[in-house]
Amino acid sequence: MAGATLANGVDPERTVSGIAPLTEAGSDDLSFFDNIRYADDLAKTAAACVIVDQRNLRLIPPQIGALVAKDVQSAFASAGQALFPLAIAPTAASGQAGLSSRADIHPTARIEDGVTVEAFAVIGPHVAIGRDTLVGAGAVIGAGCRIGRSSRVGPGACVTHALLGNRVILHPGVRVGQDGFGYAAGPTGLKKSVQIGRVIIQDDVEIGANTAVDRGAIRDTVIGEGTKIDNQVQIGHNVKIGRHCAIVAQVAISGSTTIGDGVMIGGQTAINGHLTIGDGAQIAAVSSVAGDVPAGARWGGTPAKPVREWFREMTLLSELAKKRRSPRKDDE
């Protein structure tokens, strides 16, 4: 199930029923080791079994079982899903299934069998919700929205002007489909630019708590299949995000930016509007992106630039600070 191989000499009948970090694992737990800085924790662990890569197998204590994997994190994630299948997606807070009598469901809404709508949720006119989807307590699904099958809309989330695919997960407090920030400055002040686009969220997207995804202004905001977005991210109007991207907490993406497939963006990064981030690019945390990023590039810093150039600049500044002198004094 984990795509790993049992190390030589390990009893194949050994069982595990839980997962835990090395320092807390007991005799029934599975853990993992992929960073040499935790070698002391590995030496003292009481875990039943540890997932490890081939190069670190020699560090596993003899009494500990070992599963050898090429990708330790992926193997541990697979094992966790097998042991705790109910933790893969949110479950109903009430523990009940079906349509709550305390939910407000418009009579024109089309809801397939197996849908759960919890208390105080609001389902607007002409909404369509697919089989095995959960709408959590206090969530709002606005008029005309479509939600696919086996999706999860967390408590207090709000979805308007949006089409959601299958197996989409929106954690509590997510906001999808509200107006983007658009105004025309003039002599009498700021005139609002109408926002009439939609949000399209494709299959297998997961969006963390309190993230906001603005509707398009005059075209759609799109999030591609398999993309994972962390908590407290801001996605502006007309943004297009490709497939299987990873966007970490407190990232801000300004309007009309296009992000390719497989892009990874570190936490607290700001991306200017009307830019293109190429396929497979990686942006370091706490960066400020002011220009287009080529496909496959690794950028970081403020303003963001190729990481080698950024590291050289940081090294030079550090050396200057240690010398306690400025570049002008060096020239003198």
Please report the DSSP string for 19-40 in residue order: E--TTT--TTEEEEE--GGGHH
Q: How many CA atoms lie within 13 A of 302 on its CB side?
A: 7
Residue 100: name the closest of 70, 71, 121, 76 by CA: 121
The Cα–Cα gap between 332 and 327 comes to: 9
Q: Which residue has the tokens 């801000």?
A: 252
Count other C-beta atoms under 10 Å from residue 279's C-beta.
Answer: 15
H-helix or E-strand containing 110? strand 110-111
Contacts (Cβ under 8 Å, ≥6 apart) of 309: none
DSSP 177: S
Residues designated as active site? 237
Residues in the chain: 332
With vertex at residue 274, the alpha carbon angle to CA 211 and CA 297, rounded to the nearest 5 degrees, is 85
The answer to whether 278 and 297 have CB atoms below 8 angstroms apart is yes
The Cα–Cα gap between 1 and 16 comes to: 13
The answer to whether 152 and 207 have CB atoms below 8 angstroms apart is no
H-helix or E-strand containing 83? helix 72-83
Which residue blocks in 123-274 are alpha helix, DSSP H?
none
